[in-house]
Amino acid sequence: MLVFLSFVFIEAKSFFVPCPVKWLTGVDCPGCGFQRSVWALIEGDFAKSFELYPPTLFFLLSFTAAISVYLLKLNIEAKLLKMLYFATGIVVVINYLFKLLML
């Protein structure tokens, strides 16, 4: 099992899916960098993760909150969850505009 896990951690980067938008147009899409950012988080490099794709933490927080609301059968309306989704969307848009303007 340990050999398998070490193989997964060593070879995982070779299995990343390339961005079709960047491949076709040469321009980053709003999600470019997410896979590498999550991998950096798994490796424990928070600074590199933020550098690669700042909205990663917002996405993971939103995902965790959504799963918690669903599994714990909390408020179906979930205004806080909707605000978190909105904030995540705003961070993604700001990040994308920053990428476009700085490149």
Counting the structural domains of the chain, the total is: 1
pLDDT along the chain (103 residues), means of 10: 59 71 84 87 89 91 87 76 91 92 79
CA angle 36, 46, 6 (to 5 degrees): 60
**Does residue 19 sit within a domain?**
no
What pLDDT sits at residue 76? 63
Tokens standing for residue 46: 């928070």
Distances (CA, A) of 69 to 36, 55, 88: 28, 21, 17
User: Is 33 inside a domain boundary?
Assistant: yes
Contact 69/81 with Cβ under 8 angstroms? yes
In a domain, 78, yes or no: yes
Is residue 101 within 8 A of residue 28, CB to CB? The reply is no
CA of 78: how far to CAs of 39, 61, 83, 91, in Å? 30, 15, 9, 20
Domain that holds residue 39: 29-102
Tokens encoding 10: 């060593």
